[in-house]
């Protein structure tokens, strides 16, 4: 199978399963399985870098800027669905060129200033390339969504040599994550009456949560200043 073969050619799975061609089926799926494995490896590289920084902060300053790191590889159905949504045939080559978020990392920080500190330190590392940066904290989405999104390039080292991978790294505070998780769940509730009123309430909550983040940051800065 070449890089440019559609990952699931129409009807091929059914034909192969029905005719008992398991080996052929596996061969067809292999490039996609490899792509997913490469993305898993990229996730491990990013996660290790973030854990190293958190450990270093803990040792030097007795403080952990990162509360939690969550990683996920986008599931195959979401990959195919996103490619169809973009109107692009889901070949391995097209998927690699088009999607930046097959490898996704979510970094939950204690305070807003930690987000920028960790993001800057990470992207300054000489094996990392910053491909794009969307600051939805400085410029929240109209619905109130806040996070810092980076697309980074990161190498993985295979038996065949170095391969550059992409990963989406989303940075949020605990409060922003709380809001985004609930808002994401609520989005899936359809047939909601008064959806405009609900959106307005969610936006109000996002703004209130942002105020609390800012106040908590100010309290921390005050404590640090007072204990010098
Ligand atoms: P999932 O399941 O979380 O992966 P692009 O990916 O660049 O083609 P876009 O919309 O420009 O599309 O990307 P953007 O704005 O950087 O946002 C991508 C991801 O951010 C989403 O991934 C969500 O995880 C998160 N996100 C963005 N906006 C919102 C929002 O309003 N609410 C919540 N809860 N999350 C948001 P996916 O692919 O949608 O899903």
Whether 183 lines ligand 1, by a CB cut-off of 6 Å, is yes
pLDDT of residue 196: 83
Residues 168/103, Cβ–Cβ less than 8 Å:
yes
Nearest residue (CA) to ligand 1, atom 38: 101
Rounded to whole angstroms, how far apart are CA atoms 49 and 82? Answer: 29
Ligand 1 atom with minimal separation from the 149 CA? 16
Whether 135 lines ligand 1, by a CB cut-off of 6 Å, is no
pLDDT of residue 62: 86
Residues 173/109, Cβ–Cβ less than 8 Å:
yes
The residues assigned a catalytic role are: 168
Whether 181 lines ligand 1, by a CB cut-off of 6 Å, is no
In order along its 228 residues, the chain shows pLDDT tens digits of 455 666 655 556 566 566 666 776 677 788 999 999 999 999 999 999 999 999 999 999 888 999 999 999 999 999 999 999 999 999 999 999 999 999 999 999 999 999 999 999 999 999 999 999 999 999 999 999 999 999 999 999 999 999 999 999 999 999 999 999 999 888 766 666 777 888 899 999 999 999 999 999 999 999 988 887
Other CB atoms closer than 10 Å to residue 210's CB: what's the count? 19
Please report, to the nearest 10 degrees, the dihedral formed by the alpha carbons of residues 95, 100, 104, 110 taken in order. Answer: -170
pLDDT of residue 190: 64
CA atoms 123, 125, 128, 129: torsion sign: positive
Other CB atoms closer than 10 Å to residue 51's CB: what's the count? 12
Is this prediction's pTM over 0.85? Answer: yes
Rounded to whole angstroms, how far apart are CA atoms 129 and 29? Answer: 30
Whether 134 lines ligand 1, by a CB cut-off of 6 Å, is yes
* Strands laid side by side in the 129-135 sheet: 66-73, 103-109, 161-173, 148-158, 129-135
Rounded to whole angstroms, how far apart are CA atoms 18 and 31? Answer: 22
Residues 109/66, Cβ–Cβ less than 8 Å:
yes
Other CB atoms closer than 10 Å to residue 142's CB: what's the count? 7
> Structural domains in the chain?
12-174 (3.30.460.10)
pLDDT of residue 10: 56
pLDDT of residue 46: 98
Please identify which residue in the block is written with the tokens 């930046």: 100
CA atoms 98, 141, 137, 135: torsion sign: positive
């Amino acid at each position: 199978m070449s890089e440019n073969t559609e990952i699931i050619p129409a009807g091929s799975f059914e034909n192969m399963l029905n005719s008992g061609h398991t080996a052929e089926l596996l061969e067809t799926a292999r490039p996609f399985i490899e792509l997913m494995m490469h993305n898993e490896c990229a996730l491990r590289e990013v996660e290790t870098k973030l854990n190293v920084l958190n450990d270093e902060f803990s040792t030097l300053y007795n403080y952990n800027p990162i509360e939690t790191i969550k990683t996920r590889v986008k599931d195959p159905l979401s990959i195919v669905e996103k490619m169809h949504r973009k109107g692009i045939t889901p070949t391995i080559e097209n998927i690699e060129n088009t999607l930046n978020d097959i490898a996704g990392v979510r970094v939950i920080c204690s305070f807003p200033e930690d987000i920028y500190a960790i993001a800057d330190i990470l992207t300054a590392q000489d094996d990392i390339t910053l491909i794009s940066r969307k600051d939805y904290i400085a410029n929240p989405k109209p619905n109130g969504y806040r996070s810092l999104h980076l697309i980074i390039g990161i190498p993985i080292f295979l038996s065949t040599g170095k391969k550059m991978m992409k990963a989406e790294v989303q940075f949020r505070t605990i409060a922003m994550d709380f809001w985004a998780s609930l808002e994401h769940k609520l989005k899936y509730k359809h047939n909601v009456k008064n959806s405009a009123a609900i959106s307005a309430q969610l936006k109000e909550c996002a703004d209130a949560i942002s105020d609390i983040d800012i106040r908590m940051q100010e309290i921390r800065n005050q404590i640090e200043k007072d204990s010098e």
